[in-house]
Amino acid sequence: MRIAASGLLVIGAFAAAVTLGAQAPATHPDFSGSYERFGNIFGQPTAAQLADKTIPPRNPPAPLLPGPMKEYQDRLAAIREADRKGTPLASGYVNCLGDGMPSMMNAMFPIEFLVTKNQVTVIEEAFTQVRRILIDRPMKKVEDVEPGFFGYSVGHWEGDTLVAETVGIKEEIRYQNVPHTKDLRIKERIHLVAPNILWNEITMEDPAVLEKPWTVTIAYRRMPDYTLLEYICEDNREYRDANGVQQIRVNK
């Protein structure tokens, strides 16, 4: 009886495996190609924007804890005041630094995804930014990753969705000026919602700064005939002065 029961278990497990195998797609979608940011909503969304299900809803503000919220709001106020006075505070762009993660996924300029078996490579045209998502590789501990602009990313496929996780982002590399700690963890779910529209649902987790995970969704539209251009900071006339203000070198 015990043998018969064991046999049934084996058969059951085999059947389950076969069923799972049938459900899981044999191959994941290859969404390789060039894309541009799509579906931005500035101001009030129009009726057409609301009706278009390929346009993600407006992203929520960062759910910051009180202390970091004050630092963030003070920073925004300082930026606005400096702009009002015509003495803008220098951002990393002034020194021709790339966005880093996850800002590069905002695709200020066109972005390219290269889906290969062991790696998904993402290239953002502005500043020629490149990041690599290693497929089916173990995640590292935060302390084992040297902090950088793009961090260390691993990913796996859940059906048609590329699920990626990133750690190791320098604290000064901020998304929309929102502060974070070295423990920032970025989770992405990247999937097609239409044949030529890709969504990236980006969730930032950082319990010391955020009261709950913060998810923003970025949409991209395929650019079928576009090849990313080179972008080299060949003559950067902007610079950051001693007061952190953006200046420009003028040829007189």
Strands (E), 42-160: 111-115, 119-124, 129-135, 152-158
Cα separations in angstroms, 221 against 39, 94, 97, 149, 198? 9, 28, 25, 25, 6
Provide the 10 A C-beta neighbour count for residue 77: 10
Kindly state the tokens that stand for 202: 């980006």
Contacts to other proteins from residues 29-48, by CB under 8 A = 37, 40, 42
Which one among 232, 242, 243, 244 touches other proteins, defined by CB under 8 A? 232
Q: Is residue 248 close enough to count as binding other proteins by CB under 8 A?
A: yes
String of contacts with other proteins for each residue 88-127, x by CB under 8 A: xxxx-xx-x-----------xx---------------xx-
Size of the site for other proteins (CB under 8 A): 34
User: Closer CB to other proteins, residue 153 or residue 246?
Assistant: 246
* CA distances from residue 107 to 94, 127, 129, 173, 208 in whole angstroms, order as listed: 18, 11, 10, 16, 28
Under the binding rule (CB under 8 A), the answer on residue 225 touching other proteins is: no
- The binding site for other proteins (CB under 8 A) comprises 37, 40, 42, 82-84, 86-91, 93-94, 96, 108-109, 125-126, 229, 231-238, 246-248, 250-252
